[in-house]
Amino acid sequence: MKDYQFTIEMETRDYECDLQGVINNANYQHYLEYTRHKWLQSKGQSFQQWHNQGIDAMVAEINMKYKTPLHGQEEFLSCLNLRREGARFIFEQDLYRKSDLKLCLQATVHIISVVNGRLSKGDELAQLIDIE
């Protein structure tokens, strides 16, 4: 495992499995979103609070490489790095099976921000999350 700015422990739930007995692909997006929200919470911020201030963060693009499937009731680590590229906030998010640290998912999520209904250059968001 490389270094990450933020890591949480999670566990899959049986109802997230599909016919093949592995976690349905779409649920990984839930895990990624949940991790970003937890990271925000750790900074005393929330999407809800931003929304009330007229700032909306939205996923513009997401790339996911499925490496090893997770199964039901399996623990994993959800790790996150963030950098800014102009108007885009790029989250590198990786999931590792906890038992052997095998890489399960490698994702890149591009977030953009809309302030008072207009696409922003990202400065408001950068200030809120204290990133250059």
Question: How many residues of this chain interact with a copy of itself, rule: CB under 8 A?
Answer: 35
Q: Rule CB under 8 A: is residue 26 a binding residue for a copy of itself? A: yes
In the three-class reduction of DSSP (H, G, I as helix; E, B as strand; rest coil), residue 30 is classed as helix
Q: Which of 18, 75, 102, 131 binds a copy of itself (CB under 8 A)?
A: 18
Backbone φ and ψ for 112, nearest 5 degrees, come out as: -120, 165
Instruction: List the one residue out of 94, 102, 75, 77 whose CA is nearest residue 11.
Output: 75
Select from 41-49, 78-86, 88-96, 124-132 the region that touches a copy of itself (CB under 8 A): 41-49
Q: Where are the beta strands (DSSP E) in the chain?
A: 6-11, 55-66, 75-85, 88-97, 103-115, 118-119
First to last CA, the chain: 25
Q: Rule CB under 8 A: is residue 45 a binding residue for a copy of itself? A: no
Q: Rule CB under 8 A: is residue 4 a binding residue for a copy of itself? A: no
Q: Which of 7, 8, 29, 81 binds a copy of itself (CB under 8 A)?
A: 29
Binding site for a copy of itself (CB under 8 A): 13-15, 17-21, 24-27, 29-30, 33-34, 37, 41, 46-48, 51, 56, 58-66, 69, 72-73
